[in-house]
């Protein structure tokens, strides 16, 4: 027979357990504990009815075992006679060995009172014994257990939801890391500690638990490159948990979150996991160093440094050239891009350098990272350009996007092949463009409409789509260009000359 003093770990269901005291407090059940300890409050994971003399093989652990005593031999009677203690000792010992949390004994119809020897055995083995009155059915007790479990589950879900909202709000504060740690410690009733890559304590919040050494050691386990993503332990009655804060940058692990709580619930683990994700986002840029480098680049630009000086800080691939991508949602009537969708798009392109300009998302990425079409987006890509040519590349990407939208292509790249215009000196070409386009140069809308219309071979509909205007507006603008320029736009030679000038404008 297994040692009755050793109880297996209960195979608990995915719901919070019910304290036995909550069941005893139900006035409709009229239950009464008559033996066994009352502290700590036993946790009931389920109710199970059995009249087996040996219930051990059928217990999972954590049960409130309900019996009417049908299995008690007649010779044992009420359990007050000589030799009756041996049967009840064996019976209670097997329940304890099976992990039973408490025993409920139904008075009537088999017995008119709880056997005294059963009371003595439960006291001896430390098993709570509950008297179930005749008017209370076992099914009513089981139903009460499940009702209380459902209530506890709902309360736990509400607690987790409120904690998630609270942690998200804390992450938006000016001091996000300390704020998240404070909210986490308050929500789990313990202590939260952020450890740096070298194991030092960077920030902490909550009450001292006296187990910081053990918590730091546990955090070191998850910080290891080949260590688990999370780990848990119990020291001096305090539950410890540690979570690796992975950045997803390929630089390995560094930061870790440690949490110490008086007790552990499934809700605590969920709340701590949410905090770990938020802290990973908040510390990821510092861990990889790219966030600090980009901040440095911005500061230097604001203080007068040249683009080519700060470009290396942005994490290029080494050749010093970049491309600009302009992207718009494919659905014309869909919502405008928000920071979350823009960040996701930039991540897909492999660059953190992203900006939202009204309904266009702009991404700057090293030329070595070839941008691919993205589902749900229409994209225009510039030719590779050095830092000084970034403004021109931005214009190229904008025009490529307009053309992509007009021809309904998911992605169009600005052409980089040699052209006949390269044979004309740049100064002469620019002077010719200024002279030819002077009548419309003061009206940017006319210039851009003419450029787009020519690039789309005189298509009114495609030009309207590209410029996001009505096709009649396109017709009016082209007619105005014809009048101001005093030329025939149906003549292919005129179109060629104007296109040459517009490329130099």
252 part of a folded domain:
yes
pLDDT confidence of residue 399: 87
Q: Which of 100-104, 179-183, 264-268 has the lowest mean pLDDT?
A: 264-268
Task: Give the model confidence (pLDDT) of 33-89 as tens digits.
Answer: 999 998 888 999 989 999 999 999 989 999 999 999 998 987 565 544 444 568 999
Are 71 and 191 within one domain?
no
In a shared domain, residues 448 and 486: yes
Residue 371 lies in a domain: yes
Asked which of 23-32, 62-71, 348-357 is least confident by mean pLDDT, the reply is 348-357
Length of the chain: 505
Task: Work out the average pLDDT over 18-35.
Answer: 94
Same domain, 32 and 91: yes
pLDDT at 317: 62
Pick from 378, 413, 448: which residue ends a domain?
A: 413
3 state DSSP class of 457: coil
**DSSP-based three-state secondary structure for 420:** helix
The model carries a pTM of: 0.46
Average pLDDT of the chain is 83
For residues 229 and 280, membership in a common domain is answered with yes
β-bridge partners, 233: 240
Identify the helix (H) or strand (E) that includes residue 329.
Answer: strand 322-329
Would the pLDDT of 320 be above 60?
A: yes
Do 359 and 387 sit in the same domain of this protein?
A: yes
For residue 67, give the CATH number of its domain. 3.40.1390.20
Tell me the C-alpha to C-alpha distance, in Å, between residue 60 and each of 36, 144, 214: 21, 20, 32
For residue 163, is it within any domain?
no
Q: Is 480 inside a domain boundary?
A: yes
The pLDDT of residue 254 is 72
Q: What's the pLDDT score for residue 292?
A: 63
- Rounded CA-CA distance 120/248 in Å is 60
At 2, phi and psi to the nearest 5?
A: -60, 150
Where a domain ends, among 367, 388, 413?
413
For 3-16, the pLDDT digits (tens) are 444 444 445 555 77
- The answer to which of 232-246, 288-302, 381-395 has the lowest mean pLDDT is 288-302
Q: Per the domain annotation, does 354 fall within a domain?
A: yes
pLDDT at 84: 57
Q: Do 401 and 428 reside in the same domain of the chain? A: no
> What is the helix, strand, coil percentage profile of the chain, to 5?
45, 15, 35
Reported as a pLDDT band with limits 50, 70 and 90, residue 211 is confident
Instruction: Say whether both 181 and 267 belong to one domain.
Output: yes
* Residue 381 pLDDT class (50, 70, 90 cuts): very high
Query: Which residue do the tokens 């840029």 mark?
Result: 285
Whether the pLDDT of residue 175 is over 80: the answer is no
Q: Give the pairing of strands 322-329 and 360-366.
A: antiparallel
Query: Residue 392 domain-assigned?
Result: yes
CB hemisphere CA count around 123 (13 angstroms):
9
How many structural domains are present in the chain? Answer: 4
CATH code at 492? 1.10.10.2840
Same domain? For 467 and 354 the reply is no
Q: Are residues 98 and 30 in the same domain?
A: yes
Structural domain harbouring 491: 424-504
Q: Which of 185-189, 209-213, 247-251 has the highest mean pLDDT?
A: 185-189
Residues 281 and 182 in one domain: yes
Q: Which residues of 205-221 are buried (b: 16+ CB within 10 A; e: fewer)?
A: bbeebebbebbbbbbbe
Model confidence at 176, in pLDDT bands (50, 70, 90)?
A: confident
Give yes or no for residue 445 having a pLDDT over 60: yes
The residue from 350, 382, 413 where one domain ends is 413
DSSP for 90-157? Answer: HHHHHHHHTT--EEEEE-SSS-SS--HHHHHHHHHHT--EEEE-TTS-HHHHHHHHHHHHHHHHHHHH
Residue 37 lies in a domain: yes
Is 263 a domain residue? yes
Co-location of 236 and 198 in the same domain: yes
What pLDDT does 10 receive? 45
Looking at the structure, tell me whether residues 402 and 470 fall in a common domain.
no
pLDDT of residue 75: 58
CATH number of the domain at 268, please. Answer: 3.30.450.30
- The structure tokens listed for 296 are 């440095």
CA angle 308, 311, 315 (to 5 degrees): 155
pLDDT of residue 318: 58
Note the pLDDT of residue 198. 75
User: Can you give the pLDDT at residue 250?
Assistant: 43
């Amino acid at each position: 027979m297994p040692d009755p003093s050793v109880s297996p770990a209960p195979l608990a269901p995915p719901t919070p357990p019910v304290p036995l005291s909550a069941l005893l407090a139900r006035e409709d059940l009229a239950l009464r504990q008559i033996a066994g300890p009352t502290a700590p409050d036993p946790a009931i994971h389920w109710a199970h009815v059995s009249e087996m003399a040996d219930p051990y093989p059928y217990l999972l652990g954590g049960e409130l075992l309900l019996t009417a005593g049908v299995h008690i031999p007649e010779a044992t009677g009420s359990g007050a006679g000589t030799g009756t203690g041996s049967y009840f000792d064996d019976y209670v010992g097997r329940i304890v060995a099976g992990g039973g949390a408490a025993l409920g004994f139904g008075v009537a119809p088999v017995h008119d009172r709880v056997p005294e020897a059963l009371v003595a055995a439960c006291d001896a083995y430390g098993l709570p014994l509950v008297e179930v009155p005749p008017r209370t059915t076992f099914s009513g007790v089981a139903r009460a257990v499940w009702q209380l479990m459902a209530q506890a589950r709902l309360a736990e879900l509400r607690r987790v939801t409120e904690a998630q909202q609270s942690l998200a709000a804390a992450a938006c504060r000016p001091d996000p890391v300390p704020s998240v740690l404070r909210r986490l410690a308050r929500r789990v009733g313990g202590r939260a500690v952020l450890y740096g890559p070298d194991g030092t304590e960077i920030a902490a919040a909550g009450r001292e638990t006296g187990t910081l050494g053990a918590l730091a050691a546990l955090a070191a386990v998850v910080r290891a490159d080949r260590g688990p993503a999370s780990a848990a332990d119990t020291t001096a009655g305090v539950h410890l948990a540690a979570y690796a804060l992975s950045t997803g940058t390929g630089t390995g692990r560094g930061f870790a979150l440690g949490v110490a709580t008086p007790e552990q619930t499934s809700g605590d683990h969920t709340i701590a996991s949410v905090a770990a994700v938020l802290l990973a986002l908040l510390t990821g840029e510092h861990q990889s160093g790219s966030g600090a480098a980009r901040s440095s680049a911005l500061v230097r630009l604001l203080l007068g440094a040249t683009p080519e000086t700060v470009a290396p800080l942005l994490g290029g691939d080494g050749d010093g050239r970049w491309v600009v991508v302009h992207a718009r949602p494919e659905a014309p009537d869909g919502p405008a891009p928000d920071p979350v969708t823009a960040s996701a798009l930039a991540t897909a392109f492999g660059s953190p350098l992203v900006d939202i300009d009204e309904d266009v998302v702009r991404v700057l990425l090293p030329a070595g990272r070839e941008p691919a079409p993205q589902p749900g987006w229409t994209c225009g890509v510039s030719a590779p350009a050095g830092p000084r040519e970034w403004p021109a590349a931005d214009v190229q990407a904008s025009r490529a996007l307009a053309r992509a939208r007009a021809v309904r292509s998911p992605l169009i790249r600005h052409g980089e092949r040699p052209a006949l215009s390269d044979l004309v000196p740049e100064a002469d070409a620019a002077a010719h463009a200024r002279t030819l386009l002077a009548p419309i140069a003061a009206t940017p809308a006319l210039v851009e409409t003419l450029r787009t219309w020519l690039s789309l071979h005189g298509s009114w509909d495609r030009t309207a789509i590209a410029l996001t205007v009505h096709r009649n507006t396109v017709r009016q603008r082209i007619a105005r260009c014809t009048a101001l320029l005093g030329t025939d736009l149906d003549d292919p030679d005129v179109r060629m000359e104007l296109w040459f000038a517009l490329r130099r404008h």
